[in-house]
Homo-oligomer: A and B are copies of this chain.
Amino acid sequence: MKHLISIDQYDYQALHTLFENVSKEKYGFIESNYPKKSQIATLFYEPSTRTSASFHSAAIQLGYSVLPINEVTYSSVTKGETLEDTIRTIGSYVDLIVLRHSEKGAAKRAAEVSTVPIINAGDGNGEHPTQTLLDIYTIWKTFKKINGLTVTLMGDLKNGRTVHSLIKILRHYKVKINLISPDSLKLPKEYYKNSDIEYSIFPKDLQTDILYVTRIQKERGSKEDYKLSYDELISLPSNAIVMHPLPRAGEIPVLFDNDPRAKYFEQIKNGLLVRKALLRELLI
């Protein structure tokens, strides 16, 4: 049985097999058939409408059914049940579990006892591999290559799980990475290590192929304002793209949404396609 726990499971070859499958929309609708229809559970210990909705719709579009468990905190789970027992229980009902949990390593623990495939939909400050796969797919889909590109990461580079995973997956490619962040939210040293990626801090002249913007959470406290203006955005190179994992909180003005370089809503659509492919691969 296969699980999707970490982007470390994806090397260059695995990534490009996925890209091809997604772009061909290889996996279509499965007619429901006797004796039962495949079901997935979205087991969310932390709320995430966006991610659970994406998996829900992906499953439906493939012809699967969904058991949504989005209120775990209020449920029997709080009667003292361990994650492991819940996984074994829900795994008796469905064919695959999409798990969002507040603790790092939760998805791995779940996979160790599960009788059905587990997809990690975010484990605390651990990983959120399907977000990373949709990000890298969006880059590949746009440029039809990844080697040779310049990727600028901007925002909260200290706490941003999304950014950290993207940096890790980019190690499979020869890319240039620029970083832009407030002093208090700089990228942790560990992400500079073990990599042949070149970093350059605070480029004055933003020559980049990708500008990947993330939200600065107020509670993580930077007094600096990392909101981009419309003027700054339209002055980007004509073939550059602007990405954001969403939700945004003013980092990118709505006025820019209709610019062809704005790719953040296409990321949403790509997320659906990527998740459809992943569900099918794990359920075949």
A203 interface residue per 8 A CB criterion? no
Q: Taking the full assembly, how many copies of this chain does it contain?
A: 3
A92 at the binding interface (Cβ < 8 Å):
yes
Judged by a CB distance under 8 angstroms, whether A224 is at the interface is no
Q: Contact at B50–A89, with CB atoms within 8 Å?
A: yes
Residues of B within 8 A of A60 (CB): 36-37, 39, 65, 67
Q: Which residues of B contact A28 (CB under 8 A)?
A: 34-35
Q: List residues of chain B with CB within 8 A of the CB of A74.
A: 47
Within the complex, which residue of B93, B247, B254, B268 is in contact with A53, where a contact is CB–CB below 8 Å? B93
Tell me the A39-86 residues at the B interface (CB within 8 Å).
Answer: 39, 41, 47-51, 53-54, 56-57, 60-61, 63, 65, 67-72, 74-77, 79-82, 84-86
Q: Find out whether the CB atom of A268 lies under 8 angstroms from the CB atom of B89.
A: yes
> Does residue A248 face the partner (Cβ distance < 8 Å to B)?
yes
Which residues in window 256-284 of A have CB below 8 A to B? 265, 268-269, 272
User: CA separation between A94 and B57, bound complex, in Å?
Assistant: 7
A71: which B residues are within 8 A, CB to CB? Answer: 47, 49, 70-71
- A80 CB to closest chain B CB (Å) equals 4
Q: How far is the CB of A29 from chain B (nearest CB, A)?
A: 5
Report how far A240 CA is from B160 CA in the complex, Å. Answer: 52
Residue of B nearest to A249 (CB): B80
Whether a CB of chain B sits under 8 angstroms from the CB of A210 is: no
Determine whether the beta carbon of B254 is less than 8 Å from that of A84. Answer: yes
Return chain B residues, CB-CB under 8 Å to A215.
79-80
> In the complex, what residue of chain B is closest to A79 when comparing beta carbons?
B247
- Do B246 and A90 have beta carbons less than 8 Å apart? no
Taking a contact as CB atoms under 8 Å apart, the answer to whether A272 and B93 are in contact is yes
Whether the pair A265, B92 counts as a contact (CB closer than 8 A) is: yes
For A254, what are the chain B residues with a Cβ–Cβ distance below 8 Å?
82, 84
The reply to whether A37 and B49 form a contact with Cβ atoms under 8 Å apart is no
| Given known A-B contacts A34-B28, A81-B248, A76 and B49 have beta carbons under 8 A apart | yes
Residues of B within 8 A of A29 (CB): 32-37
Pick the contact of A63: B32, B48, B246, B269 (CB < 8 A): B32
Cβ of A227 within 8 Å of any chain B Cβ, yes or no, is no
A172 at the binding interface (Cβ < 8 Å): no
Contact at A36–B61, with CB atoms within 8 Å?
A: yes
Top 8 nearest A-B pairs (CB, nearest first) are: A81-B247, A49-B75, A80-B249, A57-B93, A36-B61, A60-B65, A92-B268, A47-B75
- Give me 9 A-to-B residue pairs in the complex whose CB atoms sit less than 8 angstroms apart, sorted by A's number: A29-B34, A36-B61, A49-B77, A56-B93, A57-B94, A68-B68, A79-B215, A85-B248, A93-B268
